[in-house]
Structure 1
Amino acid sequence: MRTTVSQIAREAGVSPATVDRVLNDRDGVRGRTRDIVLQVATRLGYFGPVSEVAQQRVRMDFVLPAGTNSFLAALKRYLLEEAHGRGDVTANVHQIEGFDPDRLSARLRDLRGRTDAVGVVALDHPQVREEINALAQSGVRIATLVSDIPTVEKVGYVGVDNRAAGRLAGLLLGRFLKGQGTQHIAVFMGSLAYRGHEEREMGFRSILSEEFPEIRIAGLAEVSDDRDRAYLETLKFLDTGGIDGIYNIGSGNQGIARALRDRKAERRVVFIGHDLTDATRLMLLDRTMDAVIDQNPRVEAREIVRLLASAVKGSMEPEYLPRLQVVFKENIPAN
């Protein structure tokens, strides 16, 4: 049975009209979207019989942090959906409790000989780097996700430019507080062991130093993406001298918001964080949060599955850096 335009559209995540424009070589489609549509059409046999290489089934495993992080929960769901939607990939997701290099390394070691490709949200730790390189040398294709480790052997990184994300947060916070004299802010992060969190902090500090020297960082709280710890740390900042703004680099937004509401400070303290989830959407609506810097987990899931599947089959996809988007109450996208 011939592959239909509707099938290609469903697999590629675009409209049938977009597929029609691509297949008929008409203008009005971005280059990357055009590439995705053509690859899906080829894989589904639209242009003729699919080769044995294209039909090869790829065993894929993803290693993510466990916990209450809403963004990572969405990412897990989209990874499984993306793999399930393809006919050539089987996928498993493994979640590691805590910021624990021993557990993460053991899980990576256990995957040797059991998988073709691994996508990992990894701590930048010597032990973890060693296991990633050993896994790659065993023939497994590796890609980093959300937080990069530049020095390991991998086929690519899928995630935002985290240093740029931190600079964007600093610009927003600085503009919100500008003209109010010396201001004191608190910075929250999951762990410096994640290079992505470290890069966001570096970008944030750099733009404050360059453009907003009147803003002083009162303290940094490392909360392991735990909303209860974030709640307690926020109370400490609010109760011991007060703060004018908060930048949350990682997860734990719900704990920070609860503390701001408990101290009736949600309209006084500027609060900026990351990732549009059901929880942060509500915080924007009631103005507990002023802005959310978003990355799209659905797009990242699609891109890392494509990257790894192509690598296993002997072709290479370029690395893809999703665009950063700033979401305010006034421009919250529909679910």
Structure 2
Amino acid sequence: MNRPTIADLAKAANVSVSTVNRILAGSASVRTATIQRVQNAADEIGYYGLGTIEARKQESMPSYRLGFLLQQSTRELYQLIGQKIREAAAGWRDARIDAAVEFVDHLEPENIAARLKTLGRACDAAAVVAGDHPLIGQAIQALRHQGRPVVAYITDQSASERAGYVGADNWKLGRTAAWFIAQTTCHPGRVQVLIGNHRYQCQDISEASFRSYMREHAGHLGIEDSLPTHEEPKEAHRLISKLLAERDDLAGVYVAGGGISGVLQAVREAPEERRRRLRVVCRDIGPETRRGLAEGLITAALCHPLERTSDQLIQTMIDAIRQTNDGVILQRTLPFEIITPENL
């Protein structure tokens, strides 16, 4: 069998012979999409120059350095998010992505704003997970004026200069959390909402919609004032342990922010009868949440689909770099996943 020729490759890819020659020689600019088409055709017909074509495709791709400022390196969830972002960047097909993933352990707004400015100046675009605060808004504004767009990730920002938002529909998420607790609790009781910080928009919106659903459909359940955990498992453990010790009618806990590991520790320490009657719903999933689901301590986890969300985040950041209309805010909302003990 004769080895495929350049003419055979050009015909299979529906391009001219001169286009194939330019790709192989690397002497002229050819669009990445065209090189990809030629590469696919070469693979199909068994053309011997696949390695050269792949090298030319890599050379033709645009290159971006993207910065990702996540929270709390000690939390397994954020480590998992960082891992998924790196994987998405490494597998990106249309551009070469250098992903700079950093973590903020001290959550004071001054510290986050300073870290965001430093990271943003070293990158073509930045993404940030942070509470909504004027200092962080000023950092986003400063980076925008330097031509460095900032995309809010998981929780939105009020800064009008932000380039976009990528995350779940938090209104639907809160009502879904309420549905699970209301529908699985037949007896009257009280429900406690835990938030990480009053400045996280995602938590604030989901708490409001949680209460909205309960007012409409769960007259047998009362909702206590929300308690902040400051994203600390020890504080979440203290709060839930105290409630379980003092209230016989605690029927449900909605963990709208961080601290699920502390909540689970408190529930494990409670008598079996209390554990059986308590419904716990949380956001997002990591190893600790999976363990709680497997033990039957968590009724449902409402989660960002991390692979899809990471892909969408990178695409949104690239779109923000490329866009010419500075007034456009790119809103990319993804459906959240629902994980229960039975579909874990």
The TM tier, using the shorter chain, reads 0.7 to 0.9
Contact 1:69–1:252 (8 Å) recurs in 2:
no
Where 1:330 maps in the other structure, the secondary structure is coil
Is structure 2 residue 299 aligned with structure 1 residue 309? Answer: no
Q: Deviation per CA, 1:72-92, whole angstroms, max 9, x where unpaired?
A: 221111112222233511111
Report which stretch shifted further, 115-124 or 69-78: 69-78
CA distance change for structure 1 residues 220 and 84 in 2, over 3 Å: closer, same or farther? same
Q: Name the TM-score, length of structure 1 as normaliser.
A: 0.80
Is structure 2 residue 225 aligned with structure 1 residue 235? Answer: no
Is structure 2 residue 105 aligned with structure 1 residue 62? Answer: no
Q: 1:177 Cα shift?
A: 1.4
Which protein is bigger by CA-based radius of gyration?
Answer: 2
Aligned residue type for 2:36: Y
Where 1:320 maps in the other structure, the secondary structure is strand
Structural mapping, 1:243-282, within 5 Å = 243-264=250-271, 265-282=274-291
CA RMSD of aligned residues (A): 2.6
Q: 1:304 Cα shift?
A: 0.9
Distance 1:286 1:90 in 2: 39
Distance 1:204 1:127 in 2: 29
Structural mapping, 1:141-290, within 5 Å = 141-178=149-186, 180=187, 182-242=188-248, 243-264=250-271, 265-290=274-299
Aligned residue type for 2:295: D
Contact 2:137–2:158 (8 Å) recurs in 1:
no
Contact 1:124–1:193 (8 Å) recurs in 2:
yes
Distance 1:218 1:92 in 2: 41
Q: Deviation per CA, 1:43-63, whole angstroms, max 9, x where unpaired?
A: 593135989996221111111
Correspondence for 2:301? 292
Q: Deviation per CA, 1:189-224, whole angstroms, max 9, x where unpaired?
A: 111111111111111111111211321123422112
Distance 2:185 2:34 in 1: 53
Count of residue pairs the alignment pairs up: 291
Q: Deviation per CA, 1:257-288, whole angstroms, max 9, x where unpaired?
A: 11111112322211111113222222112111
Correspondence for 2:47? none
Correspondence for 1:96? 104
Distance 2:117 2:320 in 1: 20
Q: 1:307 Cα shift?
A: 1.6
Correspondence for 2:85? 79
Stretches of structure 2 lacking an aligned partner (at least 5 in a row): 1-12, 14-30, 39-52
Distance 1:167 1:44 in 2: 47
Distance 2:91 2:57 in 1: 19
CA distance change for structure 1 residues 317 and 209 in 2, over 3 Å: closer, same or farther? closer
Where 2:203 maps in the other structure, the secondary structure is helix
Q: Name the TM-score, length of structure 2 as normaliser.
A: 0.78
Contact 1:147–1:196 (8 Å) recurs in 2:
yes
Distance 2:120 2:255 in 1: 36
Counting aligned pairs with the same residue, the percent is 23
Stretches of structure 1 lacking an aligned partner (at least 5 in a row): 1-22, 24-40
